[in-house]
């Protein structure tokens, strides 16, 4: 009787799982290494080890090496029916890949050099393959490997893989082919390893899109139908069906259990797994980011990195509001990552790496500009007589108010001004001293009205020009008040200016003329609007200097 009961339950279990067991695992591998008109893909590996791993995982494998246009025509017929009849599907492409705003193609090895309009005639449409994989939601993985270079190959198309619309339930990985093989062997083909765990262990240059469930695995753990011999037949049957549903990790398997046992022992777990399966990519991405528990300083670093790359976060305050989320979406789109507005650990690492490279580029560009500016500064100083007369000094300061010799020029002009005071009429001298004491635009304009050709008229006009420029920088001044909203940040700016040799004066958080001059010199070298005030762009660029 006991043997009959075990046989009965095993038959019931097999029947319950018959739909899932009816198909077979299918793997389609296309590796294009040797190109006639484009660079060979040196990273496109020998597929022998990969096929061995897939065969061990019980996959039926179709392999194509160096697919040409003729071979392309033999792949697509019957592909739809093969995918639909399979239990799980893995598609692995490696070669030269190009993308438009609507489609991506794996180029055939004999694809000609030409316009992007011809790509559809000489490439396998990857987006269309994804659409087919959408028929196996929750059980389909696409891997697209291509060289790391982004140098344009085909006119009008981007080099690399940029997915447009990923069907629900399809998991997509992209990166260098060898890195994708590591993803396969290191987790994807290991039974019971969830997609989220696979992504967490993936090389940093691998990008994932689409369906990344925190629980379900591509290959569920095989559950042996072993009965304990204890408890009632009904309990054991429920346990077996639940084991089968959990191992499948699919919507169909979990619903099979829930329909049969709407009040069963595992209803809560089944609903939780089902909810995870049905979450949108944005919901999953939000959960991944929340799990990272980013502190405020890390968030500021992310905002600085985004700003450095030209994505406006509307502030570097450690708060991820609409501006930051929009910046993340723009960065993800530019890098071919599914646009969720939320970051994974791998994405943060990639962003940091990209920003570090950009910071070095900007620093080198600033160094070149600074050297050229200093060269022109020194040349003009020599051409105006090295400060030998008042005319030359004023001409120098007009062109280079923050120049290498500006302090010397100002000191020497004081000598001329002192002499002028001794010879000027007492009334004019007193009026000039009063205007200097007030130091306002209106005061200097009043002085010029009274003494348009006086001994200090040139000095007054210089002051008017300087104060007028300061007035036009009122927006930058307001922005500085918002950006430098605490004493620590003000000190940090001065320390950074001093570290790169711009002489901001005493580092005390109090910005004087020396500080403003240092800020202007930095802005000029960084090709930023020169205001002397620390704007958002200024602090991002300044803090990026190593």
| 524-536 tens-digit pLDDT | 888 888 889 999 8
Flag whether pLDDT at 73 surpasses 50. yes
Closest by CA position to 92, among listed 71, 73, 67? 67
Flag whether pLDDT at 248 surpasses 80. no
Flag whether pLDDT at 272 surpasses 50. yes
* Residue at which a domain ends, from 187, 210, 233: 210
- Number of alpha carbons in the 13 Å side-chain half-sphere of residue 115: 1
Residue 487 neighbours by CB under 8 Å, 6+ apart: 509
- Average confidence (pLDDT) over 219-237: 63
CATH of the domain at 186: 3.40.50.1460
Domain presence at residue 438: no
- Calculate what percentage of the chain has a pLDDT beyond 70: 88
How confident is the model at residue 19, as a pLDDT?
36
How confident is the model at residue 151, as a pLDDT?
64
How confident is the model at residue 1, as a pLDDT?
40
Measure Cα distances from 229 to 2, 4, 13, 179, 241 in Å: 8, 12, 16, 47, 16
- Look at 445 and 281; give whichever has higher pLDDT: 445
Query: Is residue 202 domain-shared with residue 295, that is, in the same domain?
Result: no
CATH of the domain at 533: 1.10.101
Domain presence at residue 385: no
Question: Is 238:211 a contact under the CB 8 Å cutoff?
Answer: no
Query: Is residue 48 domain-shared with residue 99, that is, in the same domain?
Result: yes
Phi, psi of 28 (to 5 degrees): -110, 120
Flag whether pLDDT at 59 surpasses 50. yes
* Residue at which a domain ends, from 151, 180, 210: 210
Query: Is residue 61 domain-shared with residue 117, that is, in the same domain?
Result: yes
Task: For Cα atoms 194, 199, 201, give the angle at the middle one, nearest 5 degrees.
Answer: 100
Domain presence at residue 250: yes
Query: Is residue 124 domain-shared with residue 263, that is, in the same domain?
Result: no
Query: Is residue 191 domain-shared with residue 328, that is, in the same domain?
Result: no
The neighbour count for residue 251, using CB atoms within 10 Å, is 17
pLDDT band of residue 299 (cuts 50, 70, 90) is very high
Distance between CA 535 and CA 307 in Å, rounded? Answer: 12
Query: Is residue 64 domain-shared with residue 194, that is, in the same domain?
Result: yes
Which pairing describes strands 59-65 and 25-31: parallel, antiparallel, or unpaired?
Answer: parallel
- Average confidence (pLDDT) over 467-494: 82
pTM, two decimal places: 0.46
Q: Which of 44-53, 147-156, 341-350, 454-463 has the highest mean pLDDT?
A: 341-350
Domain presence at residue 460: no
Question: Is 59:111 a contact under the CB 8 Å cutoff?
Answer: no
Query: Is residue 196 domain-shared with residue 300, that is, in the same domain?
Result: no
How confident is the model at residue 471, as a pLDDT?
67
Flag whether pLDDT at 440 surpasses 50. yes
What is the pLDDT of the chain when averaged over all its residues? Answer: 82
- Average confidence (pLDDT) over 215-234: 63
Distance between CA 65 and CA 77 in Å, rounded? Answer: 18
- Average confidence (pLDDT) over 116-136: 80
Q: Which domain holds residue 91?
A: 23-210
- Average confidence (pLDDT) over 288-304: 90
How confident is the model at residue 21, as a pLDDT?
41
Question: Is 124:75 a contact under the CB 8 Å cutoff?
Answer: yes
Query: Is residue 178 domain-shared with residue 69, that is, in the same domain?
Result: yes
Full DSSP string of 122-164: SEEEHHHHHHHHGGGTTSEEEEEE--S-----SBTSEES---S
How is residue 315 written in tokens? 């502030």
Query: Is residue 185 domain-shared with residue 240, that is, in the same domain?
Result: no
| Each residue's pLDDT tens digit, 390-439 | 889 989 988 898 889 988 998 998 888 787 777 777 778 888 889 899 88
Residue 525 neighbours by CB under 8 Å, 6+ apart: 366, 367, 369, 370, 373
Tally DSSP H helices, then E strands, for the chain.
Answer: 24, 10
Domain presence at residue 452: no
Domain presence at residue 332: yes
Flag whether pLDDT at 2 surpasses 60. no
- Look at 141 and 278; give whichever has higher pLDDT: 141
Distance between CA 80 and CA 119 in Å, rounded? Answer: 22
Distance between CA 543 and CA 496 in Å, rounded? Answer: 7
Flag whether pLDDT at 20 surpasses 70. no
Flag whether pLDDT at 379 surpasses 90. yes
How is residue 426 written in tokens? 């007492």
- Look at 153 and 466; give whichever has higher pLDDT: 466
Query: Is residue 76 domain-shared with residue 150, that is, in the same domain?
Result: yes
Flag whether pLDDT at 87 surpasses 60. yes
Flag whether pLDDT at 13 surpasses 60. no
In the chain, the number of structural domains is 4
Query: Is residue 302 domain-shared with residue 202, that is, in the same domain?
Result: no
How confident is the model at residue 12, as a pLDDT?
40
pLDDT band of residue 76 (cuts 50, 70, 90) is low
């Amino acid at each position: 009787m006991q043997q009959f009961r075990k046989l009965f339950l095993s038959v019931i279990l097999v029947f319950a799982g018959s739909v899932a067991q009816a198909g077979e695992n299918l793997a389609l591998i296309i590796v294009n290494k040797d190109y006639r008109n484009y660079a060979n893909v040196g990273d496109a590996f020998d597929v022998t080890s990969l096929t061995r791993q897939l065969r061990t995982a019980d996959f039926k494998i179709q392999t194509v090496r160096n697919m040409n246009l003729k071979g392309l025509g033999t792949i697509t017929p019957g592909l739809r029916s093969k995918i639909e009849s399979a239990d799980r599907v893995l598609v692995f492409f490696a070669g030269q890949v190009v993308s438009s705003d609507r489609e991506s193609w794996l180029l055939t090895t004999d694809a000609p050099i030409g316009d992007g309009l011809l790509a559809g005639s000489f490439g396998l449409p990857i987006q269309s393959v994804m659409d087919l994989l959408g028929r196996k939601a929750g059980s389909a993985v696409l891997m697209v490997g291509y060289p790391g270079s982004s140098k344009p190959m085909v006119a009008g198309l981007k080099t690399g893989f940029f997915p447009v619309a990923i069907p629900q339930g399809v998991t997509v990985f992209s990166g260098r082919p060898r890195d994708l093989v590591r993803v396969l062997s290191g987790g994807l083909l290991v039974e019971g390893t969830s997609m989220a765990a696979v992504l967490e262990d993936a090389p940093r240059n691998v990008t994932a899109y689409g369906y990344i469930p925190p629980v379900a695995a591509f290959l569920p753990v095989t559950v042996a139908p072993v009965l304990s011999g204890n408890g009632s037949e009904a309990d054991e049957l429920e346990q077996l069906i639940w084991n089968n549903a959990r191992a499948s990790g699919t919507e169909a398997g979990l619903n099979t259990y829930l329909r049969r046992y709407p009040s069963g022992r595992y209803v809560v777990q089944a609903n939780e797994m089902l909810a995870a399966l049905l979450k949108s990519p944005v919901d999953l991405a939000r959960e991944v980011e929340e799990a990272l528990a980013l502190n405020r300083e890390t968030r500021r670093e992310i905002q600085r990195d985004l700003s450095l790359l030209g994505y406006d976060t509307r502030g570097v305050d450690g708060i991820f509001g609409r501006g930051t989320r929009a910046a993340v979406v723009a960065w993800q789109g530019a890098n071919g990552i599914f646009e969720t507005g939320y970051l994974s650990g791998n994405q943060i690492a990639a962003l940091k790496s990209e920003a570090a490279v950009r910071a070095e580029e900007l620093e080198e560009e600033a160094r070149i500009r600074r050297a050229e500016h200093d060269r022109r500064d020194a040349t003009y100083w020599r051409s105006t007589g090295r400060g030998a007369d008042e005319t030359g000094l004023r001409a120098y300061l007009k062109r280079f108010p923050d120049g290498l010799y500006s302090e010397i020029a100002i000191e020497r002009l004081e000598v001329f001004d002192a002499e002028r005071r001794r010879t000027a009429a007492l009334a004019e001298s007193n009026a000039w001293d009063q205007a200097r004491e007030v130091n306002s635009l209106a005061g200097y304009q009043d002085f010029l009205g009274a003494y348009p050709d006086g001994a200090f008229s040139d000095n007054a006009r210089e002051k008017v020009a300087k104060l007028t420029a300061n007035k036009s920088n009122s927006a930058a001044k307001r922005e500085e008040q918002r950006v430098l909203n605490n004493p620590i940040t003000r000190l940090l700016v001065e320390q950074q200016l001093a570290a790169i040799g711009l002489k901001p004066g005493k580092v005390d958080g109090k910005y004087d003329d020396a500080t403003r001059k240092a800020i202007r010199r930095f802005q000029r070298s960084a090709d930023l609007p020169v205001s002397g005030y620390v704007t958002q762009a200024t602090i991002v660029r300044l803090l990026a200097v190593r």
